[in-house]
Amino acid sequence: MKLVYSKESIQDLIRLREFIAIKNPEAAKRIAAELIARIQQLCLFPAMGRPVELAPTPEAIRDFVFGDYIVRYSIHNGALTILRIWHHLEDMNKR
């Protein structure tokens, strides 16, 4: 399955890494690497996340929770697209 990152998800990764790096640069590198590794696993097991019930097509839009982070992705035409990534304490309604 092809893996695609949206522009917003790339910005999310950069933002999260920069925020963590302020207090702990090593943790920022480690968490970013772990998130990317977990995202790559989604290509092997795309149904791993839970459907987003409020989405127009819940089975096509899913959330994968990894520790304190949520990865929202879509599955469409043989591609897994990472839509957004955020820490569970962030208010995604303000984004």
- Residue 52 tokens, joined: 């987003």
CA neighbor of 73 nearest in space, from 23, 17, 8, 18: 8
Q: What count of Cα atoms within 13 Å lies in the side-chain half-sphere of residue 89?
A: 3
Rounded CA separation 28/50 (Å): 26
Q: Which 8-state DSSP code applies to residue 15? A: H
Rounded CA separation 5/3 (Å): 7
pLDDT at 3 over 70: yes
Spell out the domain ranges in the chain.
2-94
Q: What is the pLDDT of residues 32-84, one digit of tens each?
A: 999 999 999 999 999 899 999 998 887 889 999 999 999 999 998 889 999 99
CATH level 3 topology of 2-94: YaeB-like fold (3.30.2310)
> pTM of the predicted model, to two decimals?
0.88
